[in-house]
């Protein structure tokens, strides 16, 4: 920090520099005098050297020269800005908004894409992958762990969600399943207590029993930071775990957009999942595997090492029930390593496009704001032409004057950046909230770091130069004599500056059109997505997920769920009720190969069908129309014929239409025996959206809960009501508690679930509309400014025309002619730019072409009328000028 201290000293001395200079002069004089007393004046001078030069050198020692002129420029610039508070406030505010929006979005991009994980030497972490897949089974992980020699360390982890409640409505904690070496390999030290070890990570729990390490955030929120939390027990899905440690605050897991509350050893999995443990399951892909490279190893070297071991690992862990073809592929599929210093982020993958689009949008807004400020500065520079010319006439170099003007611009952009930075602190949090959903909460650390600061300062510098350079060059390019001879209004310089101003406004109009068209396209897409035929009615539906947490034996579950359903149908306000394994658009799915009777499959993929298991009455509850046949009902029992309902797409695909009723579909449901069970098609229902709203219609099929032998421990109840869903929850909670108070419940609004699946589309549409409107406003201000200036400049001419009898209308037209010209040029440029930019966002559009003529036309019309209005105000003012006053002023 030596340089900091030095700068501080310099600044301190700068503040009383005349004092310091006097001191130095006095000191030198004393020296000369004393020496002269000894040796005489001449010798004294000779020994002393060139006094002036020395004084200059001393001054430079303080760095006075540059600080000096900088402070002069800043003071001067500050005065100039303060002299025009209206301009300054407008400019700083629009810059603050522009820079703030850019910084806010950059903060998120930085947090999810650029920032390295806060672990030891993140550059040496790699992720194990095979093909496109980054998930592995526990048996594979254990094999990799036992073949450590390729790496300095390995770790595995999986996401989980644990219920902290002891009954009733669930309270979830974000969980991590971690391998014993997880924290050690990452180099994380405990904040309190100890972290997990290989000793804890044994099948069924280690010597210390089921233990958990909690995050700092959870320690604060759940235990209020109480040190006594260590050694306490928390229940996860109703199973007790002892808390042995707390992680430091900076460590929030390896997913940058998802924090964690509790981490427990992978080996404890059988404690929670007694039905079937995932530990020995060879086809449950739920763990990420990471490794730390050995010192000196490169990624390819380590990759070669693990590939050498892969045959052994693969053979030991191959799922036995797979078909021949799948097995062959499994053995062939090579392990790969990918550097993973920045961690994982679903945002990065899901919202990448959205973030980059928004970045482009706010970048354009900033450009428009710059054009505006440049325009205002041009007008000011013209007004200051005399002052500048005088300065240049008395010997200020052109460079010196340009530097002065640029200092002013940079001062302006600096102030804007300061405001923008403050604004971005709030804006980035708002953005995170906009992208965050109940199902998929976004938990990104967007606090600014050096990268963000550098970005903001870079943008400030760039914008300052951008809007400052043209006016500065323009103002200094005219010969001083010329201007001084001209009248006070600087008509000559004004004329050329006016052309530049018009060009800037035309550019603004063009950029605004691009933004408006973008907003229009995104809004159209969103409308199309929401208006698309979903195959169900999303309104007034409440979802209740009920989880037995495996406390209820399998054989009793069918009966339990049936009893609950019966009971829920009697809750006041509930009009229809059903249950289903999967709810639509929840980003979950279950697919399966089918063997329809009489259908010759073209390929394996050709028969991949998406499934759900539902109770009778499901389709009526969801308002999914039944196209043919019948719904599931009381006839369908465990002992009756196995039945299936398929959607129209599947009926068409497999059976060519309604003739499907009565046909059989073969399936190997449990995937264990390889034997195919037959299901008879009893109905055909309308196509519905399955995973998300953007998807092409999927082939899908439904099985009935009443024919299920061993249901999973959780199911969803779907309640359609005449009243808002929120008013139902307490009655529903009470009704279920009557039957079994130990069940874990989670309430969700179906409409919210559907809407949240469009969070990227919604956010992009919302923000681009907002910024589009802002751009429109800026363009209006720009046009208003340039027209007002034109009117002022032509006051004399207008006065003469009016004195000669020109009508008000013709004066308005005179002014508007210019506006129309600017608009026309801007529109042509804007349409070309919109078409070009549209191609970049095609992938984000739904049901609308990037070159949509209707959108383009509407946006152009809105822009044209808004800007014409802005031009009309000064035009009208011009037409009301009193000719005599106008002429006198001239």
Partner 1 sequence: MADQKRDEIPPGTLYMLILRTLARGGEMHGYEIANAIQRGSEEVLQVEEGSLYPALQRMLIKGWVEAEWGVTAGNRRARYYHLTKLGREQLEQELSQYRRVNIAIEKILQSA
- 723 φ/ψ angles, rounded to the nearest 5 degrees: -105, 160
Are 878 and 811 in contact by the 8 Å Cβ rule? The answer is yes
Of 22, 51, 146, 312, which lies in the binding site for partner 1, with binding defined by CB under 8 A? 51
- Choosing from 14, 24, 299, 500, the residue that interacts with partner 1 (CB under 8 A) is 24
| Shortest distance in whole angstroms from residue 56 CB to partner 1 | 9
Q: Does 19 bind partner 1 (CB under 8 A)?
A: no
Q: How far is the CB of 13 from partner 1 (least distance, A)?
A: 8
Q: DSSP string of 722-764? A: SS-GGGTHHHHHHHHHHH-TT-EEEEEEHHHHHHHTTHHHHHH
- Written in H, E and C, the secondary structure of 388-452 is HHHHHHCCCCHHHHHHHHHHHHHHHHHHHHHHHHHHHHHHHHHHHHHHCCCCCCCCCCCCCCHHH
SS3 of residue 582 by DSSP: coil
Q: Total number of residues binding partner 1 (CB under 8 A)?
A: 25
Nearer to partner 1 by Cβ, of 47 and 485: the residue is 47
- Residues 425 and 448 sit within 8 Å (Cβ to Cβ): yes
Task: HSE, CB side, 13 Å, CA atoms: give it for residue 599.
Answer: 25
**Which residue in the set 35, 282, 384, 567 belongs to the binding site for partner 1 (CB under 8 A)?**
35
Cβ-based neighbour number of residue 284 at 10 Å: 18
Instruction: Please give the angle made by the CA atoms of 668, 671 and 673, to the nearest 5 degrees.
Output: 80
**Residue range at the interface with partner 1 (CB under 8 A); choices 45-53, 302-310, 821-829, 854-862:** 45-53
Whether 478 contacts 492, CB under 8 Å: yes
Q: How far is the CB of 75 from partner 1 (least distance, A)?
A: 23
What ranges make up the beta strands (E) of 188-256? 192-193, 211-214, 233-236, 239-246
Tell me the closest approach of the beta carbon of residue 10 to partner 1, in angstroms: 7
Nearer to partner 1, 34 or 491 (CB): 34
CB 617 within 8 A of CB 684: no
Chosen residue from 1, 5, 395, 843 binding partner 1 by CB under 8 A: 5
Q: Which is nearer to partner 1, 12 or 630 (CB)?
A: 12
Answer for which of 9, 75, 482, 587 binds partner 1 (CB under 8 A) is: 9
> Given candidates 11, 54, 462, 857, which one binds partner 1 under the rule CB under 8 A?
54
C-beta separation of 32 from 48 below 8 A? yes
**Which window, 48-56, 219-227, 308-316, 476-484, contacts partner 1 (CB under 8 A)?**
48-56
Q: How far is the CB of 69 from partner 1 (least distance, A)?
A: 19
We find the least distance from the C-beta atom of residue 66 to partner 1, in angstroms, to be 15
| C-beta of 10 vs 620, nearer to partner 1 | 10
Nearer to partner 1, 34 or 331 (CB): 34
Query: Closest separation between CB of residue 422 and partner 1, Å?
Result: 34
> Which residue among 11, 16, 19, 26 contacts partner 1 (CB under 8 A)?
26
1, 4, 15, 49: which one binds partner 1 (CB under 8 A): 49
Q: Please identify which residue in 11, 16, 22, 27 interacts with partner 1, judged by CB under 8 A.
A: 27
* Helices within 294-351 (DSSP H only): 299-317, 324-332, 346-350
Measured from the CB of residue 2, what is the shortest distance to partner 1 in angstroms? 8
Q: Tell me the closest approach of the beta carbon of residue 1 to partner 1, in angstroms.
A: 12
Binding status of residue 23 toward partner 1 by CB under 8 A: yes
What does the per-residue mask of binding to partner 1 show for 107-136, with x meaning CB under 8 A? ------------------------------
Q: Which is nearer to partner 1, 13 or 356 (CB)?
A: 13
Provide the token pair at 568: 């829920």
The yes or no reply on residue 481 touching partner 1 (CB under 8 A) is no
Q: Per CB under 8 A, does 47 bind partner 1? A: yes
Provide the greatest CA pair distance for the chain: 129
**57 near partner 1, judged by CB under 8 A:** yes
- Residues 685, 627 contacting (CB under 8 angstroms): yes
State the angle between helix axes of 808-841 and 491-531 in degrees (0 to 180), rounded to the nearest 10. Answer: 50
β pairing state of 172-178 and 262-265: parallel
SS (H, E, C) 521-540: HHHHHHHHHHHCCCCCCCCC
With CA atoms as reference, report the closest residue to 177 among 213, 142, 144, 124: 213
209: alpha, beta or left? (left if phi > 0; alpha if psi -120 to 50): left
By CB under 8 A, residue 30 contacts partner 1: yes
Query: Least distance in Å: CB of 296 to partner 1?
Result: 36
User: Using the rule CB under 8 A, is 595 a contact of partner 1?
Assistant: no
Q: Which of 16, 41, 61, 709 binds partner 1 (CB under 8 A)?
A: 61
Q: Give least dist CB 32 to partner 1, A.
A: 9
587 binds partner 1 (CB under 8 A): no
What is the smallest separation between the CB atom of 67 and partner 1, expressed in angstroms? 12
Least CB distance from residue 47 to partner 1, whole Å?
Answer: 5
SS3 at position 255: strand
Stretch that binds partner 1, among 27-35, 390-398, 420-428, 727-735 (CB under 8 A): 27-35
Minimal distance in Å, beta carbon 41 to partner 1? 14
Task: Tell me: does residue 22 bind partner 1 (CB under 8 A).
Answer: no
Rounded-to-integer distance, Cα 455 and Cα 447, Å: 14
**Residues 823, 495: Cα–Cα separation, whole Å:** 19
Task: Retrieve residue 567's tokens.
Answer: 């009971």
Cβ neighbours of residue 812 under 8 Å, at least 6 residues apart? 872, 875, 876, 878, 879
Q: Smallest gap, in angstroms, from Cβ of residue 52 to partner 1? A: 10
Q: Are 677 and 669 in contact (CB under 8 A)?
A: yes
Which CB atom, from 23 or from 675, has the smaller least distance to partner 1? 23
Given candidates 19, 22, 41, 50, which one binds partner 1 under the rule CB under 8 A? 50
* Cβ atoms of 200 and 271 closer than 8 Å: no
Q: Which stretch binds partner 1 (CB under 8 A): 53-61, 105-113, 574-582, 599-607?
A: 53-61
52: Cβ contacts below 8 Å, ≥ 6 apart: none
Q: Which residues bind partner 1 (CB under 8 A)?
A: 5-6, 9-10, 13, 23-24, 26-28, 30-31, 33-35, 47-51, 54, 57-58, 61-62
């Amino acid at each position: 920090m030596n340089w900091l201290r030095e700068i501080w000293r310099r600044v301190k001395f700068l503040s009383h520099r005349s004092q310091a200079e006097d001191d130095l002069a006095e000191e030198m004089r004393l020296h000369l005098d004393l020496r002269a007393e000894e040796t005489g004046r001449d010798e004294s001078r000779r020994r002393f050297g060139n006094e002036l030069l020395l004084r200059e050198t001393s001054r430079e020692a303080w760095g006075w020269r540059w600080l000096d002129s900088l402070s002069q420029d800043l003071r001067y610039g500050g005065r100039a800005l303060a002299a025009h508070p209206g301009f300054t406030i407008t400019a700083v505010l629009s810059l603050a908004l522009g820079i703030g929006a850019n910084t806010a979005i950059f903060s998120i991009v930085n947090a999810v894409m650029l920032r390295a994980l806060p672990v030891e030497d993140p550059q040496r972490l790699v992720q194990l992958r095979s093909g496109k897949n980054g998930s592995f089974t526990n048996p594979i992980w254990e094999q990799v762990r036992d073949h450590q020699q390729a790496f300095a360390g390995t770790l595995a982890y999986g996401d989980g969600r644990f219920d902290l409640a002891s009954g009733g409505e669930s309270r979830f904690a974000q969980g991590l399943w971690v391998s014993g070496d997880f924290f050690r390999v990452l180099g994380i030290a405990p904040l309190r207590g100890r972290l997990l070890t290989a000793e804890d990570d044994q099948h069924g729990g280690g010597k210390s029993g089921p233990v958990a390490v909690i995050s700092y955030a959870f320690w604060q929120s759940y235990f209020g930071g109480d040190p006594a939390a260590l050694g306490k027990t928390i229940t996860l899905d109703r199973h007790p775990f002892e808390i042995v440690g707390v992680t430091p605050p900076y460590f929030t897991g390896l997913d940058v957009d998802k924090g964690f509350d509790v981490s427990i050893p992978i080996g404890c999995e059988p404690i929670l999942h007694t039905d079937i443990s995932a530990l020995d399951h060879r086809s449950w892909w739920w763990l990420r595997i990471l490794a730390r490279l050995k010192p000196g190893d490169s990624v390819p070297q380590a990759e070669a090492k693990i590939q050498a071991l892969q045959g052994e690992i693969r053979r030991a862990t191959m799922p036995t029930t797979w078909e021949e073809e799948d097995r062959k592929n499994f053995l062939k599929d090579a392990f790969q390593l990918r550097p993973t210093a920045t961690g994982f982020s679903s945002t990065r993958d899901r919202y990448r496009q959205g973030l980059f689009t928004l970045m482009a949008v706010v970048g354009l807004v900033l450009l428009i704001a710059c054009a505006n400020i440049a325009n205002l500065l041009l007008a000011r520079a013209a007004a200051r032409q005399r002052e500048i010319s005088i300065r240049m006439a008395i010997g200020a170099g052109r460079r010196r004057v340009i530097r002065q003007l640029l200092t002013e611009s940079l001062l302006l952009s600096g102030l804007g950046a300061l405001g923008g930075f403050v604004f971005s602190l709030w804006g980035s949090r708002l953005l995170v909230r906009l992208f965050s959903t109940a199902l998929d909460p976004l938990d990104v650390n967007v606090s600014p770091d050096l990268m963000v600061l550098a970005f903001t300062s870079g943008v400030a510098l760039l914008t300052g130069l951008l809007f400052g350079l043209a006016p500065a060059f323009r103002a200094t390019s005219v010969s001083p004599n010329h201007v001084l001879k001209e009248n006070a209004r600087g008509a000559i310089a004004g004329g050329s500056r006016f052309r530049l101003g018009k060009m800037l406004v035309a550019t603004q109009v063009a950029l605004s059109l691009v933004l408006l068209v973008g907003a229009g396209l995104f809004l159209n897409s969103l409308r199309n997505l929401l208006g698309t035929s979903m195959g169900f009615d999303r309104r007034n539906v409440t979802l209740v997920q009920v989880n037995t947490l495996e406390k209820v034996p399998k054989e009793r579950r069918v009966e339990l769920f049936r009893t609950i359903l019966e009971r829920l149908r009697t809750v006041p306000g509930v009009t229809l009720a059903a249950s289903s394994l999967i709810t639509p658009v929840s980003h979950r799915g279950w697919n399966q190969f089918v063997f329809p009777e009489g259908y010759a499959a073209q390929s394996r993929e050709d028969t991949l069908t998406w499934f759900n298991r539902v109770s009778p009455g499901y389709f009526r509850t969801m308002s999914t129309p039944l196209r043919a046949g019948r719904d599931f009902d009381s006839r369908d029992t465990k002992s009756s014929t196995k039945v299936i309902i398929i959607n129209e797409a599947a009926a068409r695909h497999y059976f060519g239409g309604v003739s499907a009723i009565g046909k059989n579909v073969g399936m190997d449901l449990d995937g264990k025996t390889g034997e195919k069970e037959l299901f008879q098609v009893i109905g055909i229902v309308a196509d519905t959206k399955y995973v998300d709203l953007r998807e092409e219609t999927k082939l899908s099929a439904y099985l009935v809960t009443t024919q299920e032998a061993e249901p999973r421990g959780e199911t969803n109840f779907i309640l359609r009501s005449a009243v808002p869903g929120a008013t139902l929850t307490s009655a529903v909670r009470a009704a279920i508690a009557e039957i079994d108070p130990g069940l874990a419940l989670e309430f969700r609004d179906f409409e919210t679930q559907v809407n949240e699946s469009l969070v990227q589309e919604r956010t992009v549409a919302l923000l681009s509309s907002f910024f589009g409107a802002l751009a429109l406003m800026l363009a209006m201000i720009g046009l208003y400014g340039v027209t007002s200036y034109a009117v002022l400049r032509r006051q004399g001419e207008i006065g003469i025309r009016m004195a000669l009898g020109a009508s008000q209308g013709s004066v308005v037209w005179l002014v508007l002619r210019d506006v129309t010209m600017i608009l026309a040029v801007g529109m042509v440029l804007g349409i070309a730019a919109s078409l070009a930019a549209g191609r970049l966002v095609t992938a984000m559009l739904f049901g609308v072409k990037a070159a949509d003529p209707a959108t383009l036309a509407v946006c152009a019309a809105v822009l044209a009328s808004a800007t014409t209005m802005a031009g009309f105000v000064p035009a009208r003012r011009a037409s009301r000028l009193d000719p005599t006053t106008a002429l006198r002023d001239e």
